[in-house]
Chain A
Amino acid sequence: MTVPNVAEAVEAVASHLHPTPSWEVADHPLPTGREEVWRFTPLRRVKTLLEDSGATGESLDWATELPSGVTLEPIDAQRARELAAEAPIDRISALAVQNCNRAYHLNVPADTELSEPIILTATGTGQTVAQQFVVTIGAHAKATIVVRYVGTATLNEKTDLIVGDGATVSFVTITDWDAGAIHGGHHALMVGRDAQVRVVAASLGGDVTRMAETARYAGPGGSLEQFGVYFVDAGQHVEHRLFVDHNAPRTNSHVDYRGALQGEGAHSVWVGDVLIRKVAEGINTYETNKNLVLTDGCRADSVPNLEIETGEIEGAGHSSTTGRFDDEQLFYLRSRGIPEDEARRLVVHGFFADIIRRIGVPEVEERLMVAVEQELAVMVGGANGAGE
């Protein structure tokens, strides 16, 4: 007789919120738009991401400087599957894997402590790309990795981040696309035993972004922070669908996504699912999404879901707020003589600075604060009296 391990103890949970992962494109039928997981997505605009038009042979232009010991190498499809945290959970990412020329593997070896962030810049020049990227962080390593997308492209992607036991990792994705970019995919994350993982998703540009972000734990004691920042302007669609699977005891997750919307047709979607399995005793989770709606004509959908299969936990909660400015904050600032425009700027600035300051990567924090300033410039529409 064998002692049941965690994997065996993890029961199947029937739920529409987290579809069954599969490497086979056929297992992910073309959505109709009536499915719960697709109902917020403008299917017409992501048509190219959902159709199987075969491999294009194109890729983004990647640039990086790697510290010694860290490797970035092509790997074959079989190896990519072996390394992956999880199979694709949607059609977009299944197509990314199937149609990708060659998967790439970034490896930070065990016990490596990097003092500087690894910054990878992927530039698109209008091509249609299927991409598979696997990042592995060895046990007890410390690393910060930033992936920044610029230019424009139609991109299907699957990214896996596998964090070894006791490792400390920050993984930042910035979609800094120009207008016209369409980007969909699945980021799958495996948090090692006692690992400390911070994942940041900043959605700044492009026409449509639809990201599924899933996380599981390879053992007890892992801790995950997921921060998101997004700015959605007229006509843009930004969708983040998160799923944290507490499949191991004494694991933590803290999710905080914040967005600002302005302009006709700006649409944000945030779905934050958390599953606490029977085995996941002593866990702690909190998810929050806050949307600041700056003008008329915007739409923010925000749906937190919590499924709890055990009551033996430390804490579980979520919150979601969507609204215009907080009148009490504005009143307080204005009661000190600060003009209304400037008070609004301070509040928006603070709303984002509050989360950006926790990212811990100066280069990224600076880039995001610049983006905040740009959003504010649009918001005040060149009104005078609001300058610093």
Chain B
Amino acid sequence: MSELRISGLYVEVETEDGPKEILKGVDLTVGTGEVHAIMGPNGSGKSTLAYSIAGHPKYHITAGSVTLDGTELSTLSVDERARAGLFLAMQYPVEVPGVSMANFLRTAKTAVSGEAPKVRTWVKEVNEAFDKVGLESSFAARSLNEGFSGGEKKRAEVAQLELLNPKFAILDETDSGLDIDALRIVSEGVNRYTAAGDRGVLLITHYTRILNYIKPDFVHVFVDGHIVAEGGAELADRLEIEGYDKFVKAAKANA
């Protein structure tokens, strides 16, 4: 059993007007075998949580800690965090022209597993992972994310998730911009990843519709840089009906 523990996390981002505090004390523990959904309105700091855990240089942790099985992640570099078992599926995957998917995946797999994947089985594995998310095998020869449609980028993120098989995955609005077929395919990929019960997921989303496909064990409502309500899957159903308004108003009243 592994554990991703976020405690008392405060994070600032650099802006033109100086540093701005985005996360204001986040406490959350994700264990393996658990799917946690973080739901919140735009601008609540959900993505900041994802990126600061992954170590994006734009975000500065000013207080608190993030540990993976007791190892403090905030003192590790971005790649060290990934090698410790963390994966971030990004909302806007970055295009890297001239670097083929195949080369990238092999390099990443070698880095996270500590040894080069076996040539013969690896190609097959990559093709299967692509096939499962509905990408042609020709994508292996294409430059990383370059010229992919929005949906193809998200599918490719999920193919990476399955191939790299990290201990914990943070999915940052992986559902946004997907049509219903793509949403189903992407969700099935996430469900395959968690099926064995030894992986943990932090699913960040604005909408409840992905939760029709991926059943969360816990739902956290995120407003103004911290968690304001927690519950099980039924909390998402309530959000579907009531929206975020009540939580936003309550947060303002408390501010």
Contacts of B111 in A (CB 8 A): 336-339, 342
Given known contacts A350-B143, A354-B143, is B88 in contact with A335 (CB within 8 Å)?
A: yes
Given known contacts A334-B82, A335-B54, is B96 in contact with A347 (CB within 8 Å)?
A: yes
Contacts of A332 in B (CB 8 A): 90, 93-94, 96
A327 near B57 with CB under 8 A, answer: yes
Taken together as a complex, chains A and B put the C-alpha atoms of A352 and B90 apart, in Å, by 26
Binding stretch for chain A, among B97-105, B131-139, B175-183: B97-105
Asked whether A295 is an interface residue with its Cβ less than 8 Å from the other chain, the reply is: no
| Interface 0/1 of A327-364, CB less than 8 Å to B | 11101111111111011001101111111010000000
B107 near A350 with CB under 8 A, answer: no
Asked whether B164 is an interface residue with its Cβ less than 8 Å from the other chain, the reply is: yes
Given known contacts A338-B111, A346-B107, is B79 in contact with A353 (CB within 8 Å)?
A: no
Contacts of B54 in A (CB 8 A): 335
Taken together as a complex, chains A and B put the C-alpha atoms of A197 and B81 apart, in Å, by 48
Contacts of A350 in B (CB 8 A): 96-99, 143-144
Given known contacts A339-B111, A354-B143, is B77 in contact with A334 (CB within 8 Å)?
A: yes
B98 near A336 with CB under 8 A, answer: no
- Chain A nearest CB from B198 CB (Å) reads 19
Asked whether B112 is an interface residue with its Cβ less than 8 Å from the other chain, the reply is: yes
B98 near A351 with CB under 8 A, answer: yes
- Chain A nearest CB from B229 CB (Å) reads 30
Taken together as a complex, chains A and B put the C-alpha atoms of A351 and B96 apart, in Å, by 8
Taken together as a complex, chains A and B put the C-alpha atoms of A199 and B112 apart, in Å, by 42
Asked whether B185 is an interface residue with its Cβ less than 8 Å from the other chain, the reply is: no
A337 near B83 with CB under 8 A, answer: yes
Asked whether B48 is an interface residue with its Cβ less than 8 Å from the other chain, the reply is: no
Which residues, 133 to 170 on B, are CB-close (under 8 Å) to A?
143-144, 160, 164
Given known contacts A336-B111, A338-B108, is B97 in contact with A354 (CB within 8 Å)?
A: yes
The number of chain B residues touching the other chain, given as a range, is 20 to 34
- Chain A nearest CB from B114 CB (Å) reads 10
Taken together as a complex, chains A and B put the C-alpha atoms of A224 and B99 apart, in Å, by 26
Beta-carbon nearest neighbor of A388 in chain B = B107
- Chain A nearest CB from B23 CB (Å) reads 18
Asked whether B209 is an interface residue with its Cβ less than 8 Å from the other chain, the reply is: no
- Chain B nearest CB from A48 CB (Å) reads 38
Given known contacts A334-B82, A335-B54, A337-B112, is B94 in contact with A328 (CB within 8 Å)?
A: yes
Which residues, 55 to 78 on B, are CB-close (under 8 Å) to A?
55-57, 77-78
Contacts of B57 in A (CB 8 A): 327, 331
Taken together as a complex, chains A and B put the C-alpha atoms of A136 and B220 apart, in Å, by 72
A339 near B99 with CB under 8 A, answer: no
B82 near A335 with CB under 8 A, answer: yes
Taken together as a complex, chains A and B put the C-alpha atoms of A353 and B56 apart, in Å, by 27
B79 near A338 with CB under 8 A, answer: yes
Given known contacts A331-B57, A357-B98, is B164 in contact with A336 (CB within 8 Å)?
A: yes
Contacts of A353 in B (CB 8 A): 98-99
Given known contacts A327-B57, A350-B143, is B96 in contact with A336 (CB within 8 Å)?
A: no
Contacts of A352 in B (CB 8 A): 98
B160 near A336 with CB under 8 A, answer: yes
Taken together as a complex, chains A and B put the C-alpha atoms of A337 and B87 apart, in Å, by 9
Taken together as a complex, chains A and B put the C-alpha atoms of A280 and B160 apart, in Å, by 48
Given known contacts A335-B78, A335-B82, A339-B79, is B108 in contact with A347 (CB within 8 Å)?
A: no
Contacts of B81 in A (CB 8 A): 335
- Chain A nearest CB from B219 CB (Å) reads 26
Contacts of B82 in A (CB 8 A): 334-338
Taken together as a complex, chains A and B put the C-alpha atoms of A334 and B78 apart, in Å, by 6
Taken together as a complex, chains A and B put the C-alpha atoms of A370 and B68 apart, in Å, by 41
Contacts of B143 in A (CB 8 A): 350, 354
- Chain A nearest CB from B1 CB (Å) reads 22
User: Other than the known A346-B104, A350-B97, what 7 A-B pairs have Cβ atoms closer than 8 Å?
Assistant: A327-B57, A333-B96, A336-B112, A339-B79, A342-B111, A349-B98, A353-B98
- Contact surface of A with B, Cβ cutoff 8 Å: 327-329, 331-340, 342-343, 346-347, 349-355, 357
- Contact surface of B with A, Cβ cutoff 8 Å: 54-57, 77-79, 81-83, 87-88, 90, 93-94, 96-99, 103-104, 107-108, 111-112, 143-144, 160, 164
Q: Could you pull out 6 A-B pairs where Cβ atoms are within 8 angstroms?
A: A329-B96, A333-B104, A336-B104, A336-B112, A346-B99, A354-B97
The 8 lowest CB-CB distance pairs between A and B, nearest first, are A350-B98, A354-B98, A337-B82, A350-B99, A353-B98, A337-B111, A336-B108, A332-B94
